[in-house]
Each structure stands twice: as structure tokens, then as C-alpha cells.
Structure 1
Amino acid sequence: MPFLGGFAVHFGIYGRKSYFKDTSDSTQMQFSEGDKYIAEHFSTDEIESVTYYEDDGWIRSDMDRPDLNRLKDDILAGLINVVVIYKIDRLCCDMADFVPFYAFLKDHGVKFITIKDGIDTTTPIGEAMMYLAVIFSGLEVQTDSLRITDNMNHLAAEGFWCGGKPPIGYNIQEISLGAKSHKTLVFNEDEIR
């Protein structure tokens, strides 16, 4: 391990997914990738402990998450010296949230690794790349939002129902157009009597 010089490493692997679904194992995949990364980059003599932190059903814009707070508490207690995450967007999506978190890590001598972004904060270039990754994560969120808005506007212009509870006097009807399924509103005379 180049940056801890053979000292025992206490890892904290953080995983998050936005929506709780019994069928999704997104956070388990994130933990598995974290374990794999650690096994490939650290010797078994260096790995002292691995602790998992999982926020299931929490959006990235909410930085007050139960297990993220537990991770911070463990860092304060000196139990973690390397934080590993799958991708920066599992943590946050903008600089306003990221900068205080990263400052907290630095203040406590904790290293930070993001697997898919290829970021390792033990080098100056790694630290610079990390900030760029956060910027691009925010850009991705904004781009997704624009794309969704454009698509919803297009569907509405075509006469399709874009979601939500139908107005009084209408029901939602699903229709198929080729391989795609859409929803429209149909008048319900019984409901307005």
C-alpha cells in the first residue's frame, strides 16, 4: 500500500441507492466492487478491517443520511482511515455537498477512493480529478433532468398522460403504439355525476 506505508488499514465502504426495492441489490454490488478493489490493491497484511455503510432509499441531495453519519462518527472515533465508494454520485452530486465532506476526511487524515471514477486522493492529480468528477456528476444530474423534462413535454404535446393522479372525471388508460406503451386520459361519466 503506497500511501499508508504498510500500516494496518481500516476501510469503510459506503453504498447508497435512491429507492428501496426488495429486488435490487445495487448496494450489495457496490460493496462487492469495494471488496474486489481492496483485495486487488492491498495485501492481506495491510487489511485490518472492512466496515460497510449502507443508505438504502436515500437521495444523493440529502447528506443527512443514517449510515453516512455513522461513517463520520466512526472516522471521528479513529475506526476508519480509508473510505471507498463505487462512484462519486453514490455520495453526492454537487460541490456544495462534496467540499465539506472531503474537508472532513482530510482533517481526520482519511484517504478517499472512488472505484469507477478512478480517483485516489493520495496524489495531487488524484485530488484534482476528484473535484472534476464531482463537477461532471452534477452536470450528469442536470442533463438527466433536462432530458426528462424534454421527454415529458414531448409526451404531453402528443396527448399522452405524463403521470400523477388523474383529474376528477378521468381515468388513465394504457395504450400500445408499436413496441411502446403510453398512457392517456379517458372521460369517466360515472365519476362526475
Structure 2
Amino acid sequence: MKVVGYLRVSTVDQEHGIAAQRAAIWGEADRRGWAVEFIEDAGKSGKDIDRPGITRALGLLSRGEADALVVSKLDRLSRSLSDFARLLDLASRQGWSIIALDLGIDTSTPTGKLVASVMAAVAQWERETIGLRTKEALAAAKAKGVHVGRPRKLDPAVARRIRNLRSRGHTYRAIADRLNADAVPLPGGGARWHPSGVRQTALRAS
């Protein structure tokens, strides 16, 4: 079986880290009779998979020029469970395997597939939990009268009204009371006009 041995370190001077990863993959390759092509990303973060080395590796795998992607540790491939789940899905659809030596993940075996599936399920749970918390936070903000979404532009008619009232000697508080009585919407969201907000609006409109 031909495999891609993927190596990554976050800074270019971590040559020992690259050597240790290479040695671990060589040892497994010797034990299992793999032919290995090494591809490395030196000085690249693991926060996402937007890296030239992994892009090249995925190209080889998608073209059928290798049968598996091998890493000594899963975090060398990605620190994001979501990215890992996407790679698992890609590997399944394209017919190649992912092998992470430190966790015993090997999607060419039933046990490895089980471990990978559990991790993918955790990633899905993480995404859904974050989405639910975001939805709940937005709902709570709306309940408090906070505008959610793109900031509203200042209505020119409201700006003119504020200028006219100021020119006639009305205080910022008096103007705020009038705007609230008429249910005039705030440009940036919120439940009520306040003197400070009226003042800021007047300054922006001047």
C-alpha cells in the first residue's frame, strides 16, 4: 500500500519535531510494508487545513496516487474536530483512508472506523451546541430590545427632526421622550432613546 506521510510543525526551526514524526511513520511503514511519500508543512498552524502541503497530499489521494494519509499524531493533521470530520467524509467518498498513529485511528479497519466515527459525532455535537448557544443568545438579545444583524442606518427624517427640535431649544432628554412616545426606531437597535443617544445622533447628523 502506498501512503502519504504528512508532517507538520508550527515553526520552521522545529526540525526535531519533523524528524520525530518521520521516524514514527517510518517505523509503522516498515512493520506494515507501506511505500511512503512524505509531504511536510513547516511553520504552519494546525488551526485549519488551508496549507500547501495538505492541499498537495489531498490532491494525490483524490487522484488515486496514494491509498492513505498517515500522521504520527492527529494534531499534526488538524487541531479542529470539525476539519477532521470533513476530512473523514472526503476520505470516505473518495475511497482512501486516514491513519493517526497516536490514537489508533485507521479508517481501513473496522475498529479505526469506529473511533473516527465517534470523533466525527463529537465534532457534529460541538457544531450544533455552538449553533444552539448562538441562537439562544440572539433570542435573549432581541427580547431585551437589542437590534441583531446589520446596523440600521440613521433615518434622515429622524435626523432632521432632532436638529429642528434642538434648534428650538429642546433638551436632549425632552427630544428622547418625544421619540420614545412616537415609537421612533433607534438606528443601532435598542429599546428606548436616551439623552446620550440623541446627542450622538445629533452630532453624527450635523
Q: Classify the TM-score, shorter chain.
A: 0.5 to 0.7
SS at match of 1:75: helix
- Residue number among 14, 17, 25 corresponding to 2:16 in the alignment: 25
Give matches, 1:1-193, under 5 Å: 9-21=1-13, 24-42=15-33, 47=34, 49-132=35-118
Normalised to the residue count of structure 2, the TM-score between the two structures is: 0.54
TM-score (norm 1): 0.57
| Percent of pairs with identical residues | 25
Tell me which protein shows more strand as a share of its residues: 1
Contact 1:117-1:133 within 8 A present in 2 as well = no
CA distance in 2, matches of 1:36, 1:99: 27
User: Could you tell me whether the CA contact under 8 Å between 1:60 and 1:89 is conserved in 2?
Assistant: yes
The runs of 5 or more residues in structure 1 that have no matched partner are: 1-8, 137-193
Q: Is the 8 A contact 1:20 1:57 kept in 2?
A: yes
Instruction: Flag the 1:109–1:39 CA change in 2: closer, same or farther, 3 A.
Output: same
Compare relative contact order (CA 8 Å, sep 6+) and give the higher one, 1 or 2.
1
The secondary structure found in structure 2 opposite 1:25 is: helix
SS at match of 1:13: strand
Rounded to whole Å, the distance in 1 between the matches of 2:119 and 2:29 is: 21
Shift of the alpha carbon at 1:101?
1.1
User: What CA deviation, in whole Å up to 9, does each residue of 1:81-137 have, x standing for no partner?
Assistant: 02111011111122211111111111121122111212221233322323556769x
For 1:108 and 1:20, the matched residues in 2 are separated by: 32
Partner amino acid for 2:103? D
* Bigger helix share: 2
CA distance in 2, matches of 1:88, 1:133: 11
Offset at 1:15?
0.8
Residue type at the aligned position of 1:25: H
Structure 2: gaps of 5 or more residues? 124-206
- How well do the aligned residues superpose, as a CA RMSD in angstroms? 2.2
* CA distance, structure 2, for counterparts of residue 33 and residue 132 of structure 1: 25
| Distance (Å, rounded) in 1 between the aligned partners of 2:50 and 2:8 | 13
1:65, CA displacement in angstroms?
Answer: 0.3
**Secondary structure in 1 aligned to 2:15?**
coil
Corresponding residue SS for 2:5? strand
Contact persistence 1:14–1:83 (CA under 8 A): yes
- Runs of 4+ in structure 1 deviating by more than 4 angstroms, as ranges, are 131-136
